[in-house]
Amino acid sequence: MTAHRLLLPIAVLATATLPALASAQPAARPTDPAATTQPRLTPSPRLAPPLVAPSPARLPSPSPPPPAAAQRSTAAPGPKAAPRLPSTPARSAASPVQAAPERLPSTPARSAASPVQAAPERLPSTPARLPSIPERLPSIAERNAAPSPQAGPQRLPPLAELLPPQPVAADTTDLPAHPEKLDVDPTLTLPARARPATSALATYLPWRALVLGGGPRATMNQVAIEGHVRYFHALLPTSVERRILFADGNRFTPTVQYLDGYRLLYRTPRLPRVDGPTTLQGFDRLWRGFVTDRADDPLLLYFAGHGSPSPQRDLDNNVFDLWGGGILSVRDLAARIEQLPPKAPVVVVMAQCFSGAFANLLFEGGDPDADVVDRDLVGFFAATRDRPASGCTPEINEADYTDFSSYFFSALAGVDRLGRLVDDADYDGDQQVGMHEAFAYALIHQATSDVPVATSDVFLRRFVPQHDRETMATPYSKVLAWARPSERAALKALSDALQLQGEDRLRTAYVTQFGPGSGRINWDDIEGAHRLRFIRLAKTVVLAHTLRENGDPAILERFDRLRAAESRNPLLEVKPNP
């Protein structure tokens, strides 16, 4: 009874509590282990992701960005995300050029071997731009004012992988998009003041022009070479029939190398005409057709490209480098010129390295020990047979081109490659500029390490043997008195630039250049090159005087004939433009 009496209140109390517990049951979360066996719900996209860094192999989706803590990765840190490029200057995704770095580099572009961040799984429809690219790239003038890099890019892609480049925000005034918008107008005509009032000849001569331009491959076919060819073409009067061989002969392949900022790019040629490749086969095809069909007419040959010493190490038989690895040697060209009638005048202008060896075209077979050819053949060359030449640059600003042929042709035509008047090369005052005056003009004004050569220089050194010790002992005043007006002007200008004084200027320059302590040859030494110009020109003047005073009359007569041919101007002997 007692136990029954004790349990009865407890039962009553429990019965009263059960309804309250039943009403509170939905608000409580189960805490027993059985509750964790329920299926896991997929979290909502708006919920934060788990605090685990994503693997570099699987980058997060481009959906709304996760919190900053979730963006940390084990990969190397990279630039922050940036807004997309505007549609106008955007580069195609297929462009072979790498995207611009976050900041414009002060050193050459990163090599292809540098680490590159992993690409996202899906590329955006518009290429992303890094945030620190300026709104406007510097102009040509601003880029020229900045110091140039010490070296170019480490590695260039193979030519087969290259497509016509599309530079980001490229200055359209630098690279015209259409051939009719050339840097130099192909229809450029000579200013009225650049031509004499009347020609010295009773009738005009039917000059023809054959141009060989371009390097042996795209990586050596700089845009400056193309510019030289285009400028020469623009100077020719329309009555001059001409043919142009350039690079591979295809106007639709990107064979022209140019510099855009710190990147070397390639594009298709922009020449008014291309008549074939600069190969031996292409040259012979035009020689058999274009040249020999009018074999009696005067011929002007212009070579703009690269040259090399002879593979046999014979500096008298150097070569012009042809497209694809071929070569055209001095004796190769001499053999072809010999096919022309002796009465057909030939003028050769060459701008390549080691081109002075081609002055041996003056001799039969191109052999400097052979007889002089029986034709009016003259030549002007950018460098001696043992020196390189300037003028092969990928820079696109033609105002900076300082090659020999630019100065030579600007003096002949009376207008430079930018269309500015050149009227200070008529040194003898006869109202027309001869090739010998154009040569002197280049000696004076070309501020490079080139040491140009003329055929008369080679002739005198062959037929007037005289030791340099005797030549350099000649008083300066006598050299000036013996010099022609163009030579006198060049001697004075070079002497002033070198700050030479006194009557022993020749000896002083010679000892400085070749005497004790002169050291090794520096091909980039502009002052040394100008000193060599002064020495060589003074020697030419002295040897010419010696020949005139004591030489063989037959040799003197041939020399005077050569000098007369060097004094002509092919651009003024043709029918002028209407």
Say what the pLDDT of residue 519 is.
76
Cα of 432 vs its chain's centroid, Å: 32
CA angle 241, 243, 245 (to 5 degrees): 170
Place of tokens 């020495």: 535
pLDDT digits (tens, 9 = 90+) for 161-197: 333 333 323 332 333 333 333 344 444 444 444 443 3
86 CB-contact burial (10 Å; exposed 0-12 / middle 13-18 / buried 19+): exposed
**Average pLDDT of the chain, as a whole number:** 76
Q: How large is the average pLDDT for residues 302-308?
A: 98
Whole-angstrom CA distances from 219 to 159, 187, 223, 392 are: 8, 30, 10, 11
pLDDT digits (tens, 9 = 90+) for 309-319: 999 999 999 99
DSSP at 77: P
Phi and psi, residue 156, nearest 5°: -110, 145
Q: Helix 455-463 crosses helix 526-550 at what angle (to 10 degrees)?
A: 50
For residue 113, pLDDT beyond 80? no
Higher pLDDT, 56 or 220: 220
What does the H/E/C string look like for 367-436?
A: CCCCCECCCCEEEEECCCCCCCCCCCCCCCCHHHCCCHHHHHHHHHHCECCCCCECCCCCCCCCCCCCHH
Yes or no: say if 320 and 352 are a contact pair by the CB < 8 Å rule. Answer: yes
Say what the pLDDT of residue 294 is.
87
302 token code pair: 């212009």
What does the H/E/C string look like for 554-567?
A: HHHHHHHHHHHHHC
pTM for the complete prediction? 0.68
Say what the pLDDT of residue 578 is.
58
Whole-angstrom CA distances from 337 to 300, 364, 436, 572 are: 12, 10, 22, 23
324 token code pair: 């694809």
Pairing of strands 346-350, 299-305: parallel
Yes or no: say if 197 and 372 are a contact pair by the CB < 8 Å rule. Answer: no
Phi and psi, residue 69, nearest 5°: -65, -30
Q: How large is the average pLDDT for residues 455-464?
A: 98
Whole-angstrom CA distances from 190 to 44, 550, 572 are: 78, 43, 10
383 token code pair: 């460098």
pLDDT digits (tens, 9 = 90+) for 23-58: 444 444 434 433 333 434 333 333 333 333 333 333
pLDDT digits (tens, 9 = 90+) for 496-547: 999 999 999 999 999 999 988 777 888 899 999 999 999 999 999 999 999 9
Percent of the chain surpassing pLDDT 90: 60
Topology of the domain comprising 207-463: Rossmann fold (3.40.50)
Nearest to 269 by CA among 228, 208, 209, 324: 228
Say what the pLDDT of residue 550 is.
94
For CATH 3.40.50.1460, list the domain ranges present in the chain: 207-463
Higher pLDDT, 35 or 212: 212
Pairing of strands 377-381, 453-454: antiparallel
Start-end of H helices in 55-154: 140-145
For residue 20, pLDDT beyond 80? no
Start-end of H helices in 422-552: 435-445, 455-463, 468-472, 476-482, 485-498, 505-514, 526-550
Place of tokens 């651009």: 571
Written as one letter, the residue type at 500 is: L
CA distance 443 to 489: 10
Say what the pLDDT of residue 469 is.
94
pLDDT digits (tens, 9 = 90+) for 374-392: 999 999 999 999 999 999 9
CA distance 439 to 454: 8
Nearest to 366 by CA among 325, 394, 329: 329
CA distance 493 to 445: 9
DSSP lists the bridge partners of residue 6 as: none
Higher pLDDT, 486 or 155: 486
